[in-house]
Chain A
Amino acid sequence: MMDMQQTALATVPQREFGRGLRASLPVMIGFVPFALVLGAQASGKGFGKVEVPLLTGLNFGGGSEFAAVGLWTSPPNILLIVGITLLVNSRHLLMGAALAPWLRHLPPRKALPSLFFMCDESWAMALADAKRRAAEGGGAEGHEAAFSLRYFLGLSAGLYGTWVVFTALGAWLGPVLGDVSRWGFDMAFPAVFLVLLRGMWKTAREALPWAISLAAAAAAYLCLPGAWYVPAGALAGIAAAWIGARR
């Protein structure tokens, strides 16, 4: 038993990075169509070939990038873009809080830069890996060391690289396709969002705030100028979730 614990937790650093990179492969494949569509959409909105990888490389948050590109005007409404980014990415606050107990053995100078790469997928996979290793190792000490930073960084390298490279590629391919709405490519956008929503779906009760958001946003879209229907719809749904939640 002791031997098994040793094997589980004895980490060869280089192998940990490779293990993370390999684990990211299936997710990388899933990233490719999203990335190409985002790159093409952004170039349709007037983003340059450098600006697309600048956006996806500095921000690295697909949901917020799709939302920002969807709402992009020339010149962009910066307050709206930043506000929507904050709303879409607010879930990171919870994810970071859930990860924090597993990062206590790391100094902030390592933890803070690493957190730049935290996305839904890398967070979920690294947390699951840490829990599995803690269960195998057992004890408080095992818990502390169970989060493998190098595994997380291997995952992140695969996902980050894929995202930036393929969004850039989408930006190069976008102009070749021409006006995307002429071919129906603008429908790729709601298609991606609806699949994302299905992934978040748990129960009809929990999805009720989404229905309220949809109704409020649609009404605001018909009545208000510009893109203010997004915060109007989002806040209506969030208020509904707050009222509907059991204390």
Chain B
Amino acid sequence: MIDLTTVLAIVLMAVTTYATRIGGYLLLGDRELSPRFLTVMDAAPGCVLISVIAPHFVSDRRADLAALALTLLAASRLPLLPTVLIGVASAGLLRQFLPGTAL
């Protein structure tokens, strides 16, 4: 039931995450950080998140692109739960009724 490679990946992830949690306290606590460094650290998590979902933006299915547009609209003004429901419902329904590929 438990896969060794999976457990190894999980443990290495956990060690990495814990290192980031104590690293700032141990290494950066007494230092002045340059504003430039702070700006980059501010932007970094968003850069990673948008990169992870980038393939959805270049999907070749019309239904998926339309559902993504609706989800984007919902995310810009609604809390998490309604946004997720709109995303899931629009993808599920549009795939039924809007076949075909984009372009």
Contact = CB atoms under 8 A, between A and B. Distances in A.
Interface of A: 30, 33-34, 37, 47-51, 54-55, 58-61, 63-64, 66-68, 70-71, 75-76, 78, 81-82, 84-101, 103, 111-112, 115-116, 118, 183-198, 200, 202, 206-207, 209-210, 213-214, 216-218, 221-222, 229-234, 236-238, 241-242, 244-247
A195 B79 contact: yes
B102 interface: no
Nearest to B74: A191
B19 to A, nearest CB: 8
A86 B41 CA distance: 12
Which of B23, B33, B34 has the most C-beta atoms of chain A within 10 angstroms of its own C-beta?
A: B23
Contacts of A230: 48, 51-52
B13 A85 contact: yes
B98 interface: no
Contacts of B84: 33, 37, 188, 191-192, 195
29 contacts: A37-B84, A48-B1, A51-B2, A51-B3, A55-B10, A58-B14, A59-B10, A64-B17, A76-B9, A82-B9, A93-B24, A96-B24, A97-B24, A103-B25, A183-B88, A184-B90, A186-B91, A187-B87, A187-B91, A190-B56, A190-B87, A191-B74, A192-B83, A195-B84, A206-B43, A209-B46, A213-B48, A217-B55, A218-B55
A116 B75 contact: no
B93 to A, nearest CB: 7
Q: Looking at chain B, what size class is its interface with the partner chain? A: 35 or more
A246 B71 CA distance: 34
Given A59-B13, A93-B24, A229 B54 contact: yes
Contact of A55 (B13, B16, B76, B81): B13
Contact of B76 (A115, A187, A198, A216): A198
B28 A245 contact: no
B103 interface: no
Given A88-B48, A93-B28, A187-B88, A217 B13 contact: no
A84 B28 contact: no
Interface of B: 1-3, 5-14, 16-18, 20-31, 33-36, 38-58, 64, 67-68, 71-72, 74-76, 79-81, 83-84, 86-93, 95
Nearest to A103: B25
B54 A93 contact: no
Nearest to B68: A190
A111 B26 CA distance: 10
B76 to A, nearest CB: 6
B7 A190 contact: no
Contacts of B80: 30, 33-34, 191-192, 195
A78 B75 contact: no
Contacts of B41: 90-91, 93-94
Contact of A67 (B7, B31, B42, B52): B52
Contacts of B95: 184
Nearest to A214: B50
A51 B10 contact: yes
B7 A70 contact: no
A96 B50 contact: no
A193 B83 CA distance: 10
